[in-house]
Amino acid sequence: MKIGIACYPTFGGSGVLATELGKALADKGHKVHFITYQQPVRLNMFNANIFYHEVRVPTYPLFDYPPYEVALASTMVDAIINHDLDLLHVHYAIPHASAAYMAKQIVKSKTGRIVPVITTLHGTDITLVGRDKTYEPVVTFSINESDTITSVSENLKEETYKNFAITKDIEVITNFVDVQRFAKKPIDAFKKVIAPNGEKILLHASNFRKVKRVEDVIKVFAQVSKEIPAKLMMVGDGPERPAAEDLARHLGVAGDVSFVGKQEQMEDIMNVSDIFLLTSDYESFGLSALEAMAARSIVISTNAGGLPEINIDGVTGFMANVGDVDTMSQQAIAVLKDDVLLAKMKEQAFEQANKFSLENIIPLYEKMYSKYCRMDNA
Ligand code: GMT
């Protein structure tokens, strides 16, 4: 099929998931057209089945706010008509769902064709940003106008029905991971650079937004490092990074914490990690935790949102209430002191990741798309 994908091209979970989905579909022979304002970060290879349409937003002295959504809808129209796309799959409702609605109407008036729109809800488009009164009417309308709505967890589905007047069914298709890619052998030399004396390695990766509570990661690490020789890698960047760096200094652990910024080779980094820490206020799913599990890292997370759907307490890692850094620290210390338990839980985390493998989840998307397969493409 010929599939248009609109997403954020940045390091955010929705963009990463959408890009990995497009790559997997292209590997299976579908023609995938990415429609974004920048090359998606994980689209770092050539594939003859992948096409990229850049949304250009011309500036003009009158515009304090250049109309991105209009430029996006126009680019969608061009891609649909010029490449005869079968459907549009948009990731993160704002502004992709409303732009897709607009594009659909324009294509219909120009060609008479009705192009199906699938909207995948990812998280903060529902739980944070989308609920804001400024956006809510447009978000509700454009979700309801989508031909198919999917959400990445049961929890997000419930949140969507709770917060918006949605009149249609929402299908849950979870995040997935390319297990082969993440389950590599750890690179010893890399491990030695991070933990030269065989210290245990804790890891956090995110876009350092408030919802991630990155200061809690530092607080947990400060308690752990009092008991166990350990290092912490902080991967990513965002508004809360300066506060986290300050806190590491104030707690006297800055020497054992590396803030390495945004990184692309997450599989190499996750492979050397013993514990992945995810202290978020909310996660609809927690894609980064799943990727860490595929790399055989256990996960210590909060029990917020959809996290209990992937992290099984006492099996693949541990969970605690949001903000309960003492419990998370105790959990980490206990497992890091017990190498047999740590090794067993790492294997269990890996097994759990396999349930969400690309091989298991991509066919669910294909099945959903097949409803919209045109006779000439069948
Ligand atoms: O918060 C992020 O990391 C980015 C955000 C996004 O939408 O770009 O991620 C959300 O989508 C991911 C992919 O579906 C989920 O795995 C994340 O849990 C979710 N983040 C939140 O709900 C906070």
pLDDT in tens, 139-155: 999 999 999 999 999 99
> Among 79-93, 112-126, 172-186, 363-377, which is the least confidently predicted range?
363-377
126 within ligand 1 shell (Cβ under 6 A)? no
Band (376; pLDDT cuts 50, 70, 90): low
Amino acid in position 121: L
Has residue 172 got a pLDDT over 60? Answer: yes
CA–CA distance from 48 to each of 76, 133, 285 (Å)? 20, 43, 31
Has residue 274 got a pLDDT over 70? Answer: yes
Per-residue buried b or exposed e for 243-266, using 16+ beta carbons within 10 Å of the residue's own CB: ebbebbeebebeebbebeeeeeeb
pLDDT of residue 188: 87
Average pLDDT of the residues of the chain: 95
Residues forming a β-bridge with 87: 3
176 within ligand 1 shell (Cβ under 6 A)? no
Has residue 378 got a pLDDT over 50? Answer: no
pLDDT in tens, 177-186: 999 999 988 8
Band (82; pLDDT cuts 50, 70, 90): very high
pLDDT of residue 124: 87
Of 125, 78, 60, 65, give the one whose Cα is nearest residue 98.
125
Distance from the alpha carbon of residue 37 to the mean position of ligand 1, in angstroms: 19
What is the set of domains in the chain, with CATH numbers? 2-176+358-377 (3.40.50.2000), 179-354 (3.40.50.2000)
Place of tokens 């488009």: 125
Band (375; pLDDT cuts 50, 70, 90): low
Helix (H, G, I), strand (E, B) or coil at 25: helix
Measured from the Cα of 284, ligand 1's closest atom is 22
Has residue 13 got a pLDDT over 80? Answer: yes
Tokens matching residue 119: 């909207």
Has residue 215 got a pLDDT over 60? Answer: yes
9 within ligand 1 shell (Cβ under 6 A)? no
Cβ burial of 336 (10 Å; 0-12, 13-18, 19+) is buried
Determine the average pLDDT of the residues in 220-239.
Answer: 98
What predicted TM-score, i.e. pTM, was given to this entire model? 0.94
Query: Whose CA is closest to atom 5 on ligand 1?
Result: 13
Band (72; pLDDT cuts 50, 70, 90): very high
356 within ligand 1 shell (Cβ under 6 A)? no
Helical spans, DSSP H, in the chain = 13-27, 68-83, 93-111, 124-127, 136-145, 154-163, 179-182, 188-194, 214-227, 241-250, 266-271, 287-294, 325-336, 339-355, 358-370
Query: Whose CA is closest to atom 19 on ligand 1?
Result: 123
pLDDT of residue 160: 96
pLDDT in tens, 290-339: 999 999 999 999 999 999 999 999 999 999 999 999 999 999 999 999 99
Q: CA 361, CA 3: separation in Å to the nearest integer?
A: 17
Band (187; pLDDT cuts 50, 70, 90): confident
Determine the average pLDDT of the residues in 65-77.
Answer: 97
